[in-house]
Amino acid sequence: MDVQEIKQRFGIIGNASGLNRAIEVAVQVAPTDLSVLITGESGTGKEAFPQIIHQFSARKHGKYIAVNCGAIPEGTIDSELFGHEKGAFTGALSDRKGYFEEANGGTIFLDEIGELPLSTQVRLLRVLEAGEFIKVGSSKVLKTDVRVVAATNVDIPSAIQGGKFREDLYYRLNTVPIRVIPLRDRKDDIHLLFRKFALDFAERYRMPPVRLNEEAQLVLTNFEWPGNVRQLKNVTEQISIIEKERSISGDVMRAYLPANGGAKLPAIYKGVDEETFATEREILYKVLFDMKKDMTDLKKLVLDMMQDGTQHPDFHSENAQIIRKLYEKEEGHFVPEESQPAQVQYEPVEGQDIQDTEEFVEESLSLEEKEIELIRKALEKHKGKRKYAAQELGISERTLYRKIKEYDIR
């Protein structure tokens, strides 16, 4: 089958040499199982080439699944691609097959591959190298025989430098590259595409097709078309529906073309420049670390107040005792032994009866000693039954068992 027959079969319009070359490469690589990376701007029609590769391969009787990676939320994309086990996460009410399991023996087209999260890229690399994957929430390794064709409008080398895309995955996907040229490099095809779209919309909406005069053709051809074939199709549909006059002039054509014709589409969302978190776990860790830092600052402030209280008469000894009690209830060794404020000494007043006083023994602030003491008390209270001792301590039985072994509690 020659290139013209292939274009007719798959609805590809145009005669540009770059377009014909891309089709030839797709047909040549189709009988192999090599991975293919299709690059090109948004709207150039990259989705036609994976279908060519699939239909001219030995897998043409297998499934063909197209997945838009940019349209799947980050939190669910692993489940969509690789499946999940029942109970793997909230809402996982039953086992589910992923696209790689469903497409076994066929072809999977991963569009917008540049939008994949880094964690998912690691999983995909394992599929490409070993044909293996693991469902979310499972530990069982599954096998799959899938031909992977990927496409992107992102500059992958730049994404690699920015830490957004794995270099090893790029080289694994880019075994055979196919570049789809933009519409501005196919100027002779622009009017041909317009006529094809105009006929299609005339048939759909049951009206005569629109035609362009020479000036309108010139305007159409000289426009940069940042949205490529997709943008041209939208403009043709607008003109076909809105304009009553079927002959389109240059002025009418200009009215449908944006003034900033040289802008590049689509707009890329750069995300947050600072403190971007990939998962909720990282956010939680940062909150905990910030809380710990605030607690440390508060302890330092209270320590300064305690030390000042022994030097200033306005800071009563009762306040110092209250603050000390707060420290005794805190876990950890924030206040070292040598930095503990000295006990307030009271000089007996002449004529005042001297009463017996209790000897004050400074309590240890060691977290380890406190834990051992509490664990011993809980075990003694419940006669060695770890389950009830753990409930008393507010920890899991597994954690209690680990603590007993760690501290060698008999």
Residue 386: pLDDT band (50, 70, 90) is confident
Pairing of strands 132-134, 141-143: antiparallel
Predicted local confidence at residue 61, as pLDDT: 95
pLDDT digits (tens, 9 = 90+) for 287-299: 777 777 777 777 7
Token representation of residue 169: 């995955």
Do 3-181 and 366-410 come out as alike in CATH topology? no
pLDDT tens across 202-237, in order? 999 999 999 999 999 999 999 999 999 999 999 999
* Mean pLDDT (whole number) for 164-178: 95
| Alpha-carbon separation of residue 6 from 2, 51, 61, 177 (angstroms) | 6, 11, 18, 19
C-alpha to C-alpha distance for 208 and 199, rounded to whole angstroms: 8
Confidence of residue 330 (pLDDT cuts 50, 70, 90): very low
What pLDDT, on a 0 to 100 scale, did the predictor assign at position 274? 40
**Given a cut of 80, is residue 47 above it in pLDDT?**
yes
Q: Where are the domains of the chain?
A: 3-181, 184-255, 277-342, 366-410
**Percent with pLDDT over 70 in the chain:** 78
| Residues 366-410, CATH architecture | Orthogonal Bundle (1.10)
Architecture of domain 3-181: 3-Layer(aba) Sandwich (3.40)
Distance separating alpha carbons of residues 40 and 180, to the nearest angstrom: 5
Task: Give the pLDDT score at 150.
Answer: 97
- Cα 271 → chain centroid: 11
Angle between helix 367-381 and helix 397-407 axes, rounded to 10 deg? 120
Domain 184-255 fold is Helicase, Ruva Protein; domain 3 (1.10.8)
Read off the pLDDT band of 76 (50, 70, 90). very high
**DSSP string of 136-201?**
BT---EEE---EEEEEESS-HHHHHHTTSS-HHHHHHHTTEEEEPPPGGG-HHHHHHHHHHHHHHH
Residue type, 296: T
Q: What is the pTM of this model?
A: 0.63
pLDDT averaged over every residue in the chain: 83
Q: Which residues, in sequence order, are CB contacts of 271 under 8 Å at separation 6+?
A: none
Q: Is the predicted pLDDT of residue 272 greater than 50, yes or no?
A: no
Q: At CA 347, angle to CA 344 and CA 353, rounded to 5?
A: 120
